[in-house]
């Protein structure tokens, strides 16, 4: 039963007529001051879940977000919708800006803040004096996902929440298995029984799934594909260097409008590339996983992975940028035997080994600002939290096993001959309901051809590929005689 008042506010403030699945339940939980864990697929309008109740409740909505681009993006969107009482506090804010926001904190409706910034004592003191309508932890799976974006600071949000006197909390995520969801609740000190879980399927039926196993010809397969696929696309790489190189090749050798995007770009360049991609001046983005959070381009038609991602969560998150407009798109994973070792190497560099952890504990190394090495950072986190050495070691070793299992699952996904969609959903304890047409490369071996440019001209999708003479004739309506 849709609440009419809520719908009126939805129209007035956000210019939408109807709620998307899950939104209304999340809003109602917030309005009833009930803690919630909300899992909605990427692109399903998660921000409305906390912004709308923000307008109906007295007090400030604090949104902790791990990603700066996402924060900026949300602030700009709210401002464009006429909201003036919104600000973001993070490492990009200038000192003057911080001071200004700090002084006007009591006037704000929405405060976006990085997990590092919210820990500052003076800020916490001020926040404690204010009425907090809702405490939102965005991308909550980062609490558990000790991967590339891991920040020890995210694990402190439970403590922050307690210091703020346990305000109504909403943990938001797009992809989390049941065990990760439990970990989120535990870490945020949310009551297991009383927290409302609003879980929607991670399955995005508009996105068709293909795995292409290559045999020493991955680059060729990639260029072939991007020359044929229609619409805008993102190609994900695990290496910045390769992202640069391939973008260059696609531009110079194939005349494609391609740019690379990764953490070495300046903020200005990032914004420029994003904007050009959104208005279709750029057709292809060669990116590392730094790209995509908060990018609201509805008509991305394909996402290609040049390297296999570390886990199904990350894969789903990244392909989720495809087809936000609900029209069909394709996710293609290019795989070459041995690719898994690249991920293994990357993972080895993510967690401290026994001797490093031992060294950090012996020397009682504590966290200092701007630590470079994430491995050291993780060790220091445990020292800071005064967790005994043996417990820390046990947890880190468990973490390593978990990561290995996740990578194994990706590898099995690659070689799985049954339905790829069913296999991927199984990881999230889900089954396929109403299998879509052209589901995956196991269900339809010539899947990608539905997404090739020639398709537009073909009247019958099942026609065999025509030779050049016939196509030429069709195009120019030339009859047989004049060709010979
Ligand atoms: Zn399938």
Distance between Cα 324 and ligand 1 center (Å): 20
Distance between Cα 154 and ligand 1 center (Å): 36
Q: Please report the pLDDT score of residue 483 as a whole number.
A: 41
Q: Please report the pLDDT score of residue 66 as a whole number.
A: 83
Distance between Cα 387 and ligand 1 center (Å): 45
Q: Please report the pLDDT score of residue 59 as a whole number.
A: 96
Distance between Cα 332 and ligand 1 center (Å): 13
Alpha-carbon distance of 330 to 176, in angstroms, equals 22
Alpha-carbon distance of 403 to 267, in angstroms, equals 31
Alpha-carbon distance of 65 to 15, in angstroms, equals 24
Distance between Cα 301 and ligand 1 center (Å): 19
Listed in sequence order, the DSSP H helices in 349-430 are 354-362, 374-384, 389-415, 420-427
* Structural domain 6-199, CATH architecture: 3-Layer(aba) Sandwich (3.40)
Distance between Cα 303 and ligand 1 center (Å): 17
Q: Are strands 36-39 and 169-173 parallel, antiparallel or unpaired?
A: parallel
Instruction: From 51, 84, 86, 92, select the one nearest 68 (Cα to Cα).
Output: 92
Distance between Cα 325 and ligand 1 center (Å): 21
Q: Please report the pLDDT score of residue 476 as a whole number.
A: 47
SS3 of residue 214 by DSSP: strand
SS3 of residue 16 by DSSP: coil
Distance between Cα 417 and ligand 1 center (Å): 10
CA atoms within 13 A on the CB side of 202: 27
Distance between Cα 440 and ligand 1 center (Å): 4
Give me the residues paired with residue 475 across strands: none
Distance between Cα 422 and ligand 1 center (Å): 7
Distance between Cα 37 and ligand 1 center (Å): 29
pLDDT in tens, 351-399: 888 999 999 999 887 766 555 677 888 888 888 878 889 988 988 888 8
pLDDT in tens, 340-349: 888 888 777 7
Distance between Cα 223 and ligand 1 center (Å): 25
Distance between Cα 421 and ligand 1 center (Å): 5
Distance between Cα 206 and ligand 1 center (Å): 12
Distance between Cα 300 and ligand 1 center (Å): 21
Distance between Cα 454 and ligand 1 center (Å): 24
What contacts 84, CB < 8 A, 6 or more positions away? Answer: none
| pTM of the predicted model over 0.85 | no
Distance between Cα 441 and ligand 1 center (Å): 7
Instruction: From 235, 212, 211, 218, select the one nearest 301 (Cα to Cα).
Output: 235
Fold for the domain defined by 207-341+409-480 = Rossmann fold (3.40.50)
Looking at the chain, which residues constitute the CATH 3.40.50.300 domain(s)?
6-199, 207-341+409-480
SS3 of residue 86 by DSSP: strand
Phi/psi for 239 (5° steps) reads -125, 130
Mean pLDDT, the chain cut into blocks of 10 residues (484 residues total): 80 88 94 95 84 96 87 87 92 90 94 93 94 95 61 83 96 86 91 91 93 95 96 94 96 95 87 90 90 75 96 90 92 95 81 90 75 77 84 86 91 97 92 92 94 58 46 46 39
Distance between Cα 444 and ligand 1 center (Å): 7
The secondary element (H helix, E strand) that includes residue 228 is helix 218-228
Q: Please report the pLDDT score of residue 469 as a whole number.
A: 54
Instruction: From 414, 453, 440, select the one nearest 226 (Cα to Cα).
Output: 453
């Amino acid at each position: 039963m849709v609440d009419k008042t809520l719908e009126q506010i939805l129209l007035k403030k956000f210019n939408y007529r109807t709620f998307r699945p899950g939104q209304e339940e999340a809003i109602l939980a917030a309005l009833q001051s009930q803690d919630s864990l909300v899992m909605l697929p990427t692109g399903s309008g998660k921000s409305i879940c906390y912004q709308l109740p923000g307008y109906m409740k007295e007090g400030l909505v604090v949104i902790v977000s791990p990603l700066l681009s996402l924060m900026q993006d949300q602030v700009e969107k709210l401002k464009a919708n006429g909201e003036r009482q919104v600000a973001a506090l993070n490492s990009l804010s200038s000192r003057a800006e911080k001071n200004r926001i700090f002084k006007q904190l009591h006037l704000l409706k929405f405060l976006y803040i990085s997990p590092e910034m919210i820990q500052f004592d003076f800020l916490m003191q001020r926040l404690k004096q204010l009425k907090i309508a809702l405490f939102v932890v965005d991308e909550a799976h980062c609490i558990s996902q000790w991967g590339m974006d891991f920040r020890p600071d995210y694990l402190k949000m439970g403590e922050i929440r307690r210091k703020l006197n346990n305000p109504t909390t909403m943990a938001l995520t797009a992809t989390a298995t049941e065990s990760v969801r439990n970990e989120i609740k535990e870490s945020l000190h949310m009551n297991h029984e009383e927290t409302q879980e609003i879980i929607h399927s991670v399955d995005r039926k508009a996105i068709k799934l293909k795995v292409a196993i290559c045999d020493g010809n991955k680059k060729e397969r990639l260029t072939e594909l991007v020359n044929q696929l229609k619409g805008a696309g993102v190609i994900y790489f695990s290496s910045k260097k390769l992202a640069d190189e391939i973008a260059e090749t696609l531009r110079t050798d194939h005349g494609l409008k391609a740019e690379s995007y990764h953490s070495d770009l300046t903020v200005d360049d990032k914004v420029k590339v994003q904007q050009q991609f959104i208005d279709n001046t750029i057709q292809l983005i060669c990116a590392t996983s730094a790209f995509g959070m908060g990018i609201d381009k509805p008509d991305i038609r394909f996402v290609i992975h040049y390297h296999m991602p570390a886990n199904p969560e990350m894969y789903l998150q990244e392909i989720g940028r495809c087809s936000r407009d609900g029209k069909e798109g394709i996710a293609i994973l290019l795989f070459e035997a041995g690719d898994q070792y690249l991920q293994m190497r990357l993972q080895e560099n993510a967690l401290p080994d026994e001797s490093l952890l031992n060294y950090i504990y012996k020397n009682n190394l504590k966290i200092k600002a701007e630590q470079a090495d994430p491995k050291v950072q993780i060790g220091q986190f445990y020292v800071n939290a005064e967790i005994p050495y043996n417990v820390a070691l046990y947890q880190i070793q468990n973490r390593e096993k978990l990561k290995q299992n996740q990578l194994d699952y990706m590898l099995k996904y690659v070689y799985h001959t049954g339905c790829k969609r069913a296999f991927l959903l199984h990881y999230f304890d889900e089954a396929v309901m109403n299998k879509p047409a052209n589901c995956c490369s196991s269900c339809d071996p010539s899947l990608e051809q539905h997404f090739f440019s020639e398709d537009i001209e073909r009247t019958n999708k099942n026609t065999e590929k025509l030779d050049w003479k016939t196509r030429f004739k069709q195009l120019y309506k030339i009859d047989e005689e004049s060709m010979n």
